Structure formats: C-alpha cells, structure tokens
C-alpha cells in the first residue's frame, strides 16, 4: 500500500513537472490545458480499471481478473492473491465439513445439535433413525415436536444434564440412553445410544447367574445339613473326624457367601434402569452397622463413628448399605487386634463422602488399582484366613458406578488404609 501511494505521488509530480515545462515553452494557459488534459486522462484510466474490477467482482469465477497497468497491476495482483487464498480456505473448510459429516454419519450413536429453544440445527443419519427426524423438513423445528416422550420432555425442561436418561421408544430402537451436553453460548449436543443389546445381554447374564446360583444353593444346603447331622455329640466322633467336619462346614458356608455375593454383584450390574432415588439416611445405616459389627468384631477393635445426621442423599438404600457394610467388614478383617477404625460421613466441597479409615495391614501401592477386580488376592493365605469372598470391593465399586460416584482408596503398607465413597453433588438432599 505504501508503494502505491509513492507511485501515485510520482505520477502527479511528473504531470506537474511537464506542465511547468510546457508553460516555459508555450504559454501559461497552454500549461493549464495540458495539466487538465493529463489529469483527465489519468482519471479516465482509473475509471476504466475500476469498471474492469467491478465486472470481475460480479463474476469472479467465469472471467479472469484483469492484468491492469501501473498501480492497478499491483492492486489486481493483491486482490487475486487474496481471492485464491479465500477460495482455498473455503474449499478446505468444505472438505473438513464433508469429512466431519461422514465421520458423524459413521457413528453408532445418534447426534443432534439444538439451539436455546431446543430446535434442531443438525443431526447425523443415526439420529434420524432413532428420533424419526426428516433431514430436510424437520430442521429448525423443536425436537419435542418430532420426538414426543414425556420423560424426555421433563429431562430437557429441568435442564439437569449431569445424569443420562434411559427411556423406551417405539422408533428404530427399543431402548436408548440420552445425554445432553451444553456447548457454545446457548447450544446443546444431544447424544443417543442404543442400549437394547446391552440390556438384553445383561438380562441373559442375570438369568444365568440366578439359575446357576440357585442350582448350587440346593446341593450346598443338603451337604451342610448332612454335616450338621453327622457332627453331633451323640455320634461319638473322634477329634480328627470332628476337625474334618468343622472344616467342611466352614468351606460350605464360605461357598454360600460366595454364591450370595455373585448374585448380588450380578443384580447390581444388571440394574441399569433401577430407580435409585430413595431418601437414604446414612445415620440410620450406621446404626445398623453398629449392631452388626458388634457380632463380627471379635478382635476388640475401637470403632468410632462421626456421622452428619442432617446429611442425606438420593440412592438405593440396600445397595449403599451393602457398600457401607463391606468396607467396615474389610476394615475389621484386616486390622490387628485392638486396632482403630474411624467411620466418617460428611460434606467436602459440596460432595457427600463416606470414609472408612483403619490402622491395619495396609495395601501395597502397586496393588491398589487391582484390588477392586473380582477374586483378586493380594495374599492368598491372608485372604483365606480372613474369610472374605474376594468380591466385596468389586461390589462396592459397581454400586458407586451405579450411583455416578466413585470409590477412592489410599493406603500405606503396615500403616493402614482409607476407603472413600464419593457421591455426586446432585444426589444431596437439600433441607
């Protein structure tokens, strides 16, 4: 731009200089006529090139940009350069958009973008099938006018999107899981996942486990009954035989506990649609735990409770009690005689947290991430002597997952462990 200004000044200076020469050779009036004529020619040339530019701007694709003369050569060159850059940017953007649409259409989940009024801006092919959206007719229409479902309507209107929504539908799939993710200024991303196969597989698995455990319970009950019958004082059994019967009875009872835990774990994992919205008082659960632990606590542990009576949550009472009981039982099993166990229920950073802390044997750091696996043993001998099934922490972890919470474990070997049940803020019952 600086060069164009300089060249324009040079041309004006040249015209003035020539006019001065003409005034010296001829008359002043002749010089003025020459100046007017030269400026007129210069102005006409600009008008001409402006007209050529206007023609090209009207149809930039069908006509070539003029070469131009003088300063217009530079102007046309810069305009054409910017035009090519813009054309390339548009082409790249169109290519990227096409690739995005192809990728979105390849997704197994339905994706819909909504504006602040919940009107459809865009959707992929999967969403069209799931919601019954017509790609041309239904754009800019409210999603609730196309996909009519009372649960979904309440979900959108309440604007509490922390938890997904699972509903039944008569469209392309039978069961879908919906999740709304706000983005931008007022827009929302609605995702829909087909969970029909998952629910079916979970049902099959649940039925299998239920039938399997039921078939095992019957013979175990018979065996236990025979052991109790034979192990009677009137039979005058030898000490060695009594020891054998005692061991058999212990293992049979352990098998019963294992079957019950397997069934419980299966029920928890399969209950995707279970309504976990009961009012749960952790204080009342702790009172139940106190009475049950008094029978289990044979090592005279010092168990202290610090429970916020006013802090209640929404959830499954039976599942939370099971998780609570498992943590306390573990603490009792793996804490030496007369050890200390602290149980705390409080609110930290708006998150309700149940903590069980002990000064027991602890867990090696390299094994903390694995102890929630089914049947994982830190020490086979220690685990067997403790009487656990190897499923307790797996049950706790799955219960927390079903409550959108997490199990957090910290431990120091030979120092003790802390187990935290961290629930989401949305489950707090506000008084």
Q: What is the spatial distance between Cα 296 and Cα 326, in angstroms, rounded to a whole number?
A: 12
93, 187: one domain: no
How far is it, in rounded angstroms, from Cα 119 to Cα 142? 4
- Same domain (yes/no): 94, 125: no
The gap from C-alpha 347 to its chain's centroid, in whole angstroms, comes to 24
Q: Are strands 120-123 and 165-168 parallel, antiparallel or unpaired?
A: unpaired
Q: Are the C-beta atoms of residues 187 and 113 closer than 8 Å to each other?
A: yes
Q: Domain check: are 291 and 417 in the same one?
A: yes
The reply to whether 308 and 397 lie within a common domain is yes
Query: From residue 154, how far is each of 52, 148, 157 by CA, in Å?
Result: 61, 11, 5
Domain boundary, last residue among 163, 194, 225? 194
Q: Which domain CATH number covers 377?
A: 3.30.565.10
Same domain, 351 and 410: yes
Tokens of 378: 């830190």
State how far the alpha carbon of 162 is from the alpha carbons of 119, 127, 181, 224, 405, in Å.
21, 21, 9, 49, 12
Q: Residue 126: which domain range? A: 107-194
Is residue 142 within 8 Å of residue 119, measured between CB atoms?
yes
- Do residues 279 and 405 share a domain? yes
Q: Calculate helix-pair angle for 282-296, 317-333, nearest 10 degrees.
A: 40
Quote the number of domains for the chain. Answer: 4
Distance CA 15, CA 100 (A): 59
Residue 257 φ/ψ region, left for φ over 0, alpha for ψ in the -120 to 50 degree band, beta for the rest: alpha
Helices (H), 271-406: 282-296, 317-333, 380-386, 392-402
Domain CATH for 242: 1.10.287
Contact predicate 167/153, CB 8 Å: no
> Are 174 and 53 within one domain?
no
CA-CA-CA-CA torsion sign (322, 324, 330, 333):
negative
Residue at which a domain ends, from 273, 308, 331: 273
User: What is the DSSP code string of 225-250?
Assistant: HHHHHHS-GGG---HHHHHHHHHHHH
| Alpha carbon distance 359, 347 (integer Å) | 23
Statement to judge: residues 37 and 137 lie in one domain: no
Asked whether residue 288 falls in the same domain as residue 215, the answer is: no
Residues 8 and 126 grouped into a single domain? no
Domain boundary among 239, 256, 273: 273
For the entire predicted model, the pTM comes to 0.52
**pLDDT, one tens digit for every residue, the chain (431 residues):** 456 677 778 888 888 888 888 888 888 888 888 888 888 888 888 888 888 888 777 777 656 777 777 777 778 778 878 878 887 888 878 778 788 778 777 778 888 989 989 999 888 888 888 888 888 888 889 988 888 888 888 888 888 787 788 887 765 557 888 899 888 888 899 988 888 777 777 777 777 777 777 777 778 777 877 777 777 777 677 777 778 877 887 777 778 777 777 777 777 766 655 667 788 899 999 888 887 776 666 667 788 889 988 899 998 888 898 889 888 888 888 888 888 889 999 999 889 999 999 888 888 887 888 887 777 666 655 545 555 667 778 888 888 888 889 999 988 888 889 999 999 988 988 76
CATH number at residue 151: 3.30.450.20
Cα torsion for 274, 276, 279, 283, to the nearest 10°? 110
**315 and 430 inside one domain:** yes
Clarify whether residues 335 and 419 are in a common domain: yes
């Amino acid at each position: 731009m600086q060069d164009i200004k300089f060249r324009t000044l040079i041309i004006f200076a040249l015209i003035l200089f020539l006019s001065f020469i003409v005034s010296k050779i001829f008359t002043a009036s002749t010089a003025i006529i020459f100046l007017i004529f030269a400026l007129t020619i210069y102005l006409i040339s600009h008008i001409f090139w402006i007209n050529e530019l206007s023609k090209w701007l009207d149809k930039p694709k069908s006509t070539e940009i003029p070469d131009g003369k003088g300063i217009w050569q530079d102007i046309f060159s810069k305009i054409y350069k910017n035009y090519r850059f813009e054309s390339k940017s548009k082409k790249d953007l169109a290519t990227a958009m096409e690739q995005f649409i192809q990728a979105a259409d390849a997704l197994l989940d339905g994706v819909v973008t909504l504006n602040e009024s919940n009107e459809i801006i865009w959707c992929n092919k999967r969403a069209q099938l799931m919601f019954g959206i017509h790609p041309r007719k239904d754009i800019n229409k409210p999603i609730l006018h196309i996909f009519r479902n009372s649960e979904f309507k309440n979900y959108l209107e309440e604007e509490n999107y922390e938890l997904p929504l699972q509903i039944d539908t008569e469209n392309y799939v039978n069961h879908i899981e919906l999740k709304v993710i706000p983005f931008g200024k007022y827009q929302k991303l609605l995702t829909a996942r087909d969970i029909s196969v998952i629910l079916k597989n979970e049902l099959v698995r649940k039925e299998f486990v239920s039938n399997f455990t039921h078939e095992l319970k019957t013979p175990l009950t018979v065996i236990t009954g025979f052991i109790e019958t034979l192990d009677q004082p009137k039979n005058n059994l030898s000490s060695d035989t009594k020891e054998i019967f005692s061991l058999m009875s212990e293992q049979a009872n352990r098998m019963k506990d294992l079957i019950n835990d397997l069934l419980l774990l299966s029920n928890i994992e399969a209950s995707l649609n279970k309504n976990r919205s009961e009012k749960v008082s952790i204080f009342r659960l702790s009172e139940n735990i106190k009475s049950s632990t008094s029978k289990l606590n044979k090592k005279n542990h010092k168990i202290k409770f610090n429970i916020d009576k006013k802090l209640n949550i929404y959830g499954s009472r039976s599942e939370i009690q099971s998780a609570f009981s498992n943590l306390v039982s573990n603490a009792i099993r793996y804490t030496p005689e007369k050890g200390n166990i602290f149980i705390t229920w409080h609110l930290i950073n708006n998150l309700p947290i149940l903590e069980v802390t002990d000064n027991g044997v602890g867990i090696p750091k390299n094994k903390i991430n694995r102890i929630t696996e089914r049947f994982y043993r830190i020490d086979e001998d220690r685990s067997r002597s403790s009487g656990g099934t190897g499923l307790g922490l797996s049950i706790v972890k799955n219960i927390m997952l079903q409550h959108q919470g997490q199990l957090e474990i910290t431990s120091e070997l030979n120092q003790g462990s802390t187990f935290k049940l961290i629930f989401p803020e949305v489950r707090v019952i506000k008084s």
